[in-house]
C-alpha cells in the first residue's frame, strides 16, 4: 500500500525553509507538518508573511506542507489558505475545571472556528493526546459530533491510541469517515526512581523507535489498507532517548513503516 509519507518538523522548528526542505527530502519524505508556534521559525504573528514563502521553498525541494501545528486564530487560517496548506492540527486540552467543562469549552472553540474553516477552505484536525487532553480517538469523535465532516477531521496517533488502551483494528474503522492524518510514533512505559523518602516510583511514557514499542504499526497500516486510506502518514520524530540523532531514527522508522505497509 502506498501512502503519502510525511514528517513533523518540530525537531528542526527553528530552521528556515531553504535549510529544512533539503533536510526533509534527504530523509526520504515528500510531506511535512510544520509548527506555527512562538518557538518556531514561522510564528502565529508572522504566519501571513512567512508561511507562503516557507511552503513554496519546501515545495521546490519536493516536500508538500500538508498541515501546520498551530492554533485557530483567523490569521493562521488566512496564512494557510495563502500558502496552500489544507489543515491546522490542534489537541483538545483539559483544564483544572474538569473533563466535562473542558470539553464544552473546546467544543465552543471549534464551533467558533467553523465559519473560518469554511471561509478559508482549511480543515481543523484534532489529535488525541495522553495526559491532560482528550486522550482517545473515540473521545475526539464525540467532541466533533455534529460538526461538518469536510471541515473537522481526526488525527489518529498510534502511540496515543495504545496509551489510551485502544486497538487500531477497532479505532481506525470507527474514525474512518473523519480520518485526516495518521501519526506514527511508538511508546513504552518506564518506571521512574522514587523521590527521597517515598515508596516506589511511578510509570511514565517513554517514546521509542517504531519496532520497539507497544503500538502495533503493522496492524495499523494493515487496517488502513483495508479501509482504502491513501492519505498522509506522518512520522512524529518523537524519541525520549536523545542518544541517537533524530534523523538517524527517522530514516530507520520510515524504512520500517514502508516495509510494514508493503511500500518498501
Average pLDDT value for residue range 175-186: 98
pLDDT higher than 90, residue 193: no
CA distance 224 to 226: 5
Q: In which band, very low, low, confident or very high, does the pLDDT at 178 lie, cut at 50, 70 and 90?
A: very high
E strand segments, the chain: 4-8, 31-35, 64-69, 87-91, 123-127, 152-157, 179-184, 186-191, 203-208, 232-235
Q: Can you count the helices (H) and strands (E) in the chain?
A: 9, 10
pLDDT higher than 80, residue 194: no
Q: What is the mean pLDDT of the chain?
A: 96
Q: Which of 216, 223, 155 is nearest to 186 (CA)?
A: 216
Beta strand 64-69 pairing with 4-8:
unpaired
Tens-digit pLDDT profile for residues 7-64? 999 999 999 999 999 999 999 999 999 999 999 999 999 999 999 999 999 999 999 9
pLDDT higher than 80, residue 1: no
pLDDT higher than 70, residue 235: yes
- The torsion angles phi and psi of 188, rounded to 5 degrees, stand at -130, 180
Q: What percentage of residues in the chain have a pLDDT greater than 70?
A: 97
Tens-digit pLDDT profile for residues 111-143? 999 999 999 999 999 999 999 999 999 999 999
Tens-digit pLDDT profile for residues 136-175? 999 999 999 999 999 999 999 999 999 999 999 999 999 9
pLDDT higher than 70, residue 200: no
Q: What pLDDT was estimated at residue 197?
A: 64
Q: In which band, very low, low, confident or very high, does the pLDDT at 196 lie, cut at 50, 70 and 90?
A: low
Tens-digit pLDDT profile for residues 79-107? 999 999 999 999 999 999 999 999 999 99
Average pLDDT value for residue range 232-250: 97
Q: What pLDDT was estimated at residue 2?
A: 80
Amino acid at each position: 500500500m502506498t501512502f503519502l509519507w510525511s514528517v513533523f518538523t518540530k525537531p528542526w522548528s527553528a530552521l528556515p525553509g531553504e535549510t529544512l526542505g533539503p533536510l526533509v527530502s534527504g530523509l526520504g519524505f515528500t510531506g511535512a507538518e510544520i509548527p506555527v508556534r512562538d518557538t518556531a521559525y514561522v510564528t502565529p504573528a508572522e504566519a501571513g508573511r512567512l508561511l507562503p514563502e516557507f511552503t513554496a521553498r519546501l515545495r521546490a525541494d519536493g516536500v508538500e506542507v500538508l498541515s501546520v501545528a498551530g492554533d485557530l486564530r483567523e490569521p493562521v487560517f488566512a496564512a494557510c489558505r495563502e500558502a496552500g496548506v489544507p489543515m491546522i492540527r490542534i489537541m483538545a486540552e483539559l483544564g483544572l475545571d474538569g473533563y466535562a467543562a473542558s470539553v464544552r469549552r473546546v467544543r465552543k472553540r471549534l464551533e467558533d472556528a467553523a465559519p473560518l474553516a469554511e471561509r478559508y477552505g482549511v480543515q481543523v484536525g484534532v489529535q488525541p493526546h495522553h495526559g491532560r487532553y482528550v486522550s482517545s480517538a473515540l473521545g475526539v469523535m464525540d467532541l466533533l459530533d455534529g460538526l461538518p465532516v469536510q471541515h473537522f477531521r481526526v488525527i489518529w496517533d498510534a502511540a496515543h491510541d495504545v496509551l489510551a488502551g485502544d486497538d487500531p483494528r477497532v479505532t481506525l474503522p470507527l474514525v474512518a469517515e473523519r480520518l485526516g492524518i495518521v501519526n506514527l510514533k511508538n511508546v513504552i512505559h518506564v518506571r521512574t526512581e522514587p523521590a527521597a523518602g517515598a515508596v516506589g516510583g511511578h510509570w511514565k511514557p517513554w517514546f521509542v523507535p517504531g519496532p520497539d514499542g507497544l503500538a502495533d504499526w503493522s496492524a495499523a497500516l494493515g487496517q488502513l489498507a483495508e479501509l482504502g486510506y491513501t492519505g498522509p502518514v506522518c512520522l512524529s520524530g518523537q524519541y525520549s532517548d536523545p542518544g541517537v540523532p533524530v534523523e538517524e531514527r527517522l530514516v530507520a522508522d520510515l524504512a520500517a513503516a514502508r516495509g510494514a505497509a508493503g511500500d518498501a
